[in-house]
Amino acid sequence: MASKNFSSDHGAVTAEFMLLLPALIMLFATVLGSVVFATDRIALEARGFEVARTLALGLDLRAEEGIEIEKSVEGALTCARITKQSLMPMSTKLCVMQVGQ
């Protein structure tokens, strides 16, 4: 009986893993980047509401680095457009009813 030589299969799992590893790293980086972007977007929306409410009350705003605020009045609404400069610039506009109107 002849014995079979399986020496050609040594390292096959390691080679397959090394081929798959860059794709897994790219997938992980994409998912992580999406989570960071969504978190920044939610924080910008919350900050936009806070700024619009502060402007409607007539209070002073504190300046933040990297965030631009534009105030506008549209009828009975006070609006704030907030732009954040980051890796991907984001902008939002929120309006609230003016106090005393």
Sorted by where each begins, the domain ranges of the chain are 16-97
Whole-number pLDDT of residue 3: 54
Q: Which pLDDT tens digit goes with each residue over 3-38?
A: 565 566 677 888 888 889 999 999 999 999 999 999
The larger pLDDT score, comparing residue 82 to residue 3, is at 82
**Among 100, 98, 93, 99, CA closest to 45:** 93
The larger pLDDT score, comparing residue 42 to residue 60, is at 42
Whole-number pLDDT of residue 34: 93
80 near 93, Cβ under 8 Å? yes
First to last CA, the chain: 99
Whole-number pLDDT of residue 5: 56
Helix/strand/coil for 95: strand
Residue with tokens 């509401």: 49
Judged against a pLDDT cut of 80, whether residue 63 lies above it is answered with no
Kindly indicate the confidence band of residue 98, based on its pLDDT and cuts at 50, 70 and 90: confident
Count CB neighbours of 24 within 10 A: 10
